[in-house]
Amino acid sequence: MDSKRELLRHAVATLAYRSRKVLREVPAGFDRYHASETTRTPAEILAHLADLLDWAVATAQGRQVWKVSEPAGWDRGVERFFAALAKFDEYLASDAELGAPEERLFQGPVADALTHVGQLAMLRRMAGGAIRGENYFVADIEVGRVGTDQAVPHREFD
């Protein structure tokens, strides 16, 4: 496999690892939390994350398709996000030709998704459900592991 494609798959696995930590065991009502009148709720951000990954798959397949989805409840939103992430990784793992350069797939949907995961982490802290910090350099992130079955953190801190 091309090294650029392998690095992109590692970025997708990193997104899965970091997302799982932020999306699990959220405080009650977190999906509807509003930091201000002009911000998205966590449920809206989660729907947007899944939309980004659907767009990533379409773009990787050589199609430009964007759709905006309404939140579908937290648990269903988490399932949709990880299903879209798995579909994107599955396409990247295949021999199929990419319809866009790896760099563009990273700088668009993947980097945007990482930003939104950071927003969710910040909103969790604001809503009283902070996650523990972690040394992500030593995290057990594995290419192809893009579901909810992520490794236990090696080194967390407060």
CATH of the domain at 128: 1.20.120.450
State the pLDDT confidence band at 37, using cuts at 50, 70 and 90. Answer: very high
* Three-state SS at 134: strand
Tokens standing for residue 59: 């773009």
Q: What is the pLDDT of residues 43-52, one digit of tens each?
A: 999 999 999 9
Asked if 50 and 15 touch (Cβ cutoff 8 Å), the reply is: no
Task: Please give the tally of structural domains in the chain.
Answer: 1
pLDDT in tens, 41-85: 999 999 999 999 999 999 999 999 999 999 999 999 999 999 999
Give the C-alpha separation, 71 to 68, whole Å. 10
Range of the domain at 134: 3-157
With H, G, I as helix, E, B as strand and everything else as coil, classify residue 157: strand
